[in-house]
Amino acid sequence: MSPSSTLTPSAAVWRDYDPVACALPGMFLGDIALTGPVAEECDRLWELGARRVRLSDVVDLADTGTPDAAARAVRTLSMVRDLTARAVLVEWDLRPDPDGGATATEDVSRLLSHLQPPQRIEGVDPARSEDALRTWRNGHYLGKCLWRQGPGFVQIRDRRWGDLRRFTVDEPHYQEAIERLAYGAPESAVPPDALADLREERLVLAVGGVQWWLPYRVNRWIQEAMTI
């Protein structure tokens, strides 16, 4: 997927996690337009010294009926995922699908619970929003749902559901599916058997007509890799 520049969010960027430190001179890096591919932009932000990033776009899962809207939501989710993998503090907002399904408030807060919690969950009852945010914040930690590349295999470790679910993928077309899904792909672009299995394990999120890969490839270990 190659979203056009009209689908590109911007971000306010600081050098530190702490809001008090961020108020000091020289800590604000500015409002930065994110015009390139997500992976490259996340690398650029890290190299600039970004440790706190506030994204301008709401992840709007209630409005994904057009290709541009779906691509915009997937791009912003990808920014959140890839920055979370670097242990960057990401400030973002989420609007779930009020009609239910996999992008309703309760379901999506579990599916996305490995990502930095949003600042707000919009468009739902405030009490439900606060409950979902509290659960998300209390249960979030780095490494909750990740994948790593080994020699000839991919391993996925998923703790979103309370236990460790570990998958080792050595079939080439499954690895190809993961590569295609990483930043969003139409269903027709992914081998159907691989997509069906990944969906069954809830490792893929449908955002409108786009299928998106949920786990992140961790960039910073906070404890020994064998523990995670």
Three-state SS letters, 19-87 = HHHHCCCCCEEEEEECCCCHHHHHHHHHHHCCCEEEEEEEEECCCCCCHHHHHHHHHHHHHHHHHHHCC
109, HSE (Cβ side, Cα atoms, 13 Å): 25
Strand order in 185-186's β-sheet? Answer: 185-186, 210-213, 204-207
Mean pLDDT over 44-51 rounds to 96
Averaged pLDDT of the chain:
89
Helices 67-85 and 38-48: angle between axes, nearest 10 degrees: 40
Give residues with Cβ within 8 angstroms of 165, minimum separation 6.
Answer: 157, 158, 159, 201
| pLDDT surpassing 60 at residue 8 | no
| pLDDT surpassing 70 at residue 7 | no
User: The pTM is what?
Assistant: 0.90
Structure tokens at 95: 């609007």
Confidence of residue 222 (pLDDT cuts 50, 70, 90): low
Contact 80, 90 (CB under 8 A): yes
Report the pLDDT value the prediction gives residue 124, as an integer from 0 to 100: 86
| pLDDT surpassing 50 at residue 1 | no
Report the pLDDT value the prediction gives residue 107, as an integer from 0 to 100: 82
| pLDDT surpassing 50 at residue 89 | yes
For residues 219 and 162, the model is more confident at: 162
| pLDDT surpassing 50 at residue 67 | yes
Structure tokens at 91: 């400030």
Angstrom distances, CA of residue 53 to CA of 7, 11, 22, 49, 201: 18, 6, 11, 11, 30
| pLDDT surpassing 90 at residue 106 | no
Mean pLDDT over 102-118 rounds to 84
| pLDDT surpassing 90 at residue 52 | yes
Confidence of residue 183 (pLDDT cuts 50, 70, 90): very high
Q: Could you give the angle at the alpha carbon of 38 between the alpha carbons of 33 and 39, nearest 5°?
A: 125
The most distant pair of C-alpha atoms in the chain lies apart, rounded to whole Å, by 54
- pLDDT (tens digit per residue) in 136-149: 999 999 999 999 98
| pLDDT surpassing 50 at residue 84 | yes
Mean pLDDT over 18-34 rounds to 96
The helix/strand/coil state of 124 is coil
| pLDDT surpassing 60 at residue 208 | yes
CB atoms within 10 A of CB 119: 14
| pLDDT surpassing 50 at residue 6 | no
* Pick from 7-11, 22-26, 220-224: least confident: 220-224
The H or E element containing residue 136 is: helix 126-139
Mean pLDDT over 153-159 rounds to 95
Mean pLDDT over 31-44 rounds to 95
